[in-house]
Structure 1
Amino acid sequence: MVTSAAGLLAAARAELVDVPKEGLGEERSSRWRGERIVRVGEAWHIGVLLLTDEHVLATAEVLRAADPGRRGYTAESARARAARRQLALRGGFDEGDVVHIGWSVIDVDAVDAGGSSGPLALRDGVPSVRWSGAGAYMPLEAYLRERIDLLRNI
């Protein structure tokens, strides 16, 4: 039985090997190429976690690369979101690609040592995850099992 966060996440990686990954992006700016969001990797999206081959990341902004076209926006936030989707296209993502930006690296060793990092924490000796900002912690093992099952059955 696996009892460490690192062990649970390694088992999840092995189980996800044939499941498609989504793009990780970072914002870049240059005088010649302008503003854009470029691909810097890929990860499995597991709820509040992004699992790469080497790291675990906390999710942040998720968007789909798209051309905003000519649309009328009733809210400035919708206009800004459309502009960010276009930045992903300019950075090399294909139309319709899912792009994760603003993510942060989680220190799994700190969690296994009894601390917390991002949405992960060791609670009463059990690796746990906070699935929302206002939500309670739940055991990481159950969370991964549920989320992986959802990914496989979409």
Structure 2
Amino acid sequence: MTTTAALLDAARVALAGVAKEGLGEERSSRWRGERIVRIGQAWHVGVLLLTDDRVLATGEVLRAADPGRRGYTAESARERAARRQMALRGGFREGEVVHVGWSVIELDAVDAGGASGPLAMRDGVVSVRWSGDSWRPLEGYLSEQVELLLAR
């Protein structure tokens, strides 16, 4: 049986020339205010984020941007614009993709027959939950996602 780590390591090798996206974390201080600061980078592979040594479940994805002066028809749009500005204030470049609210996936738990984040062992096959409650084998999922990233 192929381990979860081995499948993900193969994806990392295949993605070696593909650009990574920023990982952010919210910070707050009296002097610098609310901001999202860079704490790393990862390949965005569907519902997963692959760093050089970890696997994360995706959370919120946004682009750093200055909201300018705009009217908003919904409070949610205003909040999203404020979060994009927090990323800009935290050091991300204008237009840069930022991943926030991600969570670490425990690969040992998956290989032991359990689940972590969107990964789980199902009928002896490492699988990924990718749409609602739909599951598919991780190996095929990674192959498809890597192919899409390489085609950009």
TM-score of the superposition, structure 1-length normalised?
0.97
- Which of structure 1's runs of 4+ aligned residues deviate more than 6 A? none
Q: CA RMSD in A?
A: 0.8
Matched residue count: 152
Which residue, out of 124, 135, 142, partners 1:144? 142
After TM superposition, give the deviation of residue 71 of structure 1 in Å: 0.8
- What SS does the corresponding residue of 1:151 show, helix, strand or coil? helix
Percentage of identical aligned residues:
74
- Extract unaligned runs of 5+ from structure 1: none
Whole-Å Cα distance in 1 between the matches of residues 150 and 10 of structure 2?
15
Q: Which residue of 1 aligns with 2:124?
A: 125
Secondary structure of 1:18's counterpart equals coil
Residues 57-101 of structure 1, C-alpha deviations (whole Å, 9 max, x = no match): 000100000000111110110010000000000000000000000
The DSSP-based 3-state class of the residue aligned with 1:131 is strand
CA distance in structure 1 between the partners assigned to 2:126 and 2:3 by the alignment: 6
Rounded Cα–Cα distance in structure 2 between residues aligned with 1:14 and 1:113: 24
Shift of residue 135 of structure 1? 3.0
Name structure 2 gaps, 5 residues minimum. none
The 5 Å alignment of 1:7-46 reads: 7-46=6-45
2:32 equivalent to 1:53: no
